[in-house]
Amino acid sequence: MLIGAANRRMQMGYPNEIQSEANGPINSDFARRMVHVREKLGLTLSEFGMNLDFSGSFVRGLVLGETRMHSKHADRVLQAVESLEVKAGISRAAKAKSLTPVSDELASYIRHINKLGFSVQLQPITAA
């Protein structure tokens, strides 16, 4: 009997990173991500909801913590939000990608300076 319950939970998509309980509301961190990407793209609730295959009023309830979502939708919603974050240029992957060339170039300069027998020390800039 216990195994059947565990299997049903796995089929429903719980545990997942956007809900703290099975078939419950989304967590506040994910709600903030949703609000941020929607605002960044300038989407109405209706337009944003269409991207998630939900109505705008349902999405509003999710973000405000007033609506519970069946956990089987969690993976799809997470993927849709991550896709919109990439489109908006605010995804973790997009940020990492944009920083990599500068970081690699800086690291290359530091290695070159070290080979010349010097060390590099970085200090925070203080406000005047």
Question: What pLDDT is attached to residue 96?
Answer: 58
Number of domains in the chain: 1
Domain ranges, residue 45 = 2-96
Residue 11 tokens, joined: 């089929």
Question: What long-range pairs does 89-92 form, CB within 8 A, spacing at least 24?
Answer: 89/40, 90/36, 90/37, 90/40
Asked whether residue 91 is assigned to any structural domain, the reply reads yes
Asked whether residue 78 is assigned to any structural domain, the reply reads yes
Residue 57 tokens, joined: 């009023």
What's 57's domain CATH number?
1.10.260
* Model confidence pLDDT, tens digit, residues 27-45: 999 999 999 999 999 999 9
pTM of the predicted protein model: 0.64
